[in-house]
Amino acid sequence: MAHSKFRCQVLTPEGEAFNDEVEMVSTRTAVGSLGILAHHAPLMGMLEPTELRLYKTESDIVRFAQSEGYLQVVDNECLLLVEEVVEPDKLNRSDLEEKMRACEQEAERAEEGSEERERHMRDARRYKAFLDVGSST
């Protein structure tokens, strides 16, 4: 069943990663998974690392490994501001595993409750999510 389309833009510090019309956006916020269709109520949210799926049609799906960021839905447009997005086929599994282990080790060494520990744990969660996205291709 065809859905109405709406504009979706994905921006990173390096620039625009995606800008096109879609039927649905599927992502995850701090409070859970989210599917956005046309004419969604205004929404702002904090994004968690996950697989970002942008449905141009039911069978044409653009996929990314998405890091932390922010989501805004307003006036039938969706804007995702993320630290990083990577196409699943460009993910390097061994590099991600190495980075995740290093972050976990640094988190263990950091002082309990410190900002440094939280940063390393956040980065480890991102690498784990990217590994999960890469495994599902």
pLDDT tens-place string over residues 75-99: 999 999 999 999 999 998 999 999 9
**Tokens representing residue 11 in the block:** 């921006």
Statement: residue 122 has pLDDT above 80? yes
Q: Is the pLDDT of residue 101 over 70?
A: yes
- Residue 60 is encoded by which pair of tokens? 């044409």
Question: For 37-59, how does the pLDDT look when each residue is reduced to its tens digit (9 = 90+)?
Answer: 999 999 999 999 999 999 999 89
Q: Across residues 12-34, what is the average pLDDT?
A: 95
Q: How many helices (H) and strands (E) does the chain have?
A: 2, 10
pLDDT band at 2 (very low <50, low <70, confident <90, very high): low
- The C-alpha atoms of residue 128 and residue 51 are separated, in whole angstroms, by 11
- pLDDT at position 135 over 90: no
Average pLDDT, the chain: 93
Q: How many residues does the chain have?
A: 137
% the chain with pLDDT above 70? 97
E-strand spans in the chain?
6-12, 15-22, 24-29, 32-37, 43-47, 50-55, 61-66, 69-74, 77-82, 85-86
| Average pLDDT, integer, range 97-113 | 92
pLDDT band at 1 (very low <50, low <70, confident <90, very high): low
Please give the structure tokens belonging to residue 45.
């949210």
Cβ count near 129 (within 10 Å): 21
137: confidence class by pLDDT, cuts 50, 70, 90? low
How far lies 21's CA from each of 42, 88, 97, 135, in Å?
18, 21, 34, 27
**Residue 30 and residue 52: Cα distance in Å, rounded?**
14
C-alpha–C-alpha distance, residues 64 and 84, integer Å: 9
Instruction: Give the per-residue pLDDT at 134.
Output: 83
User: Does the structural domain 6-86 have CATH classification 3.40.1440.10?
Assistant: no
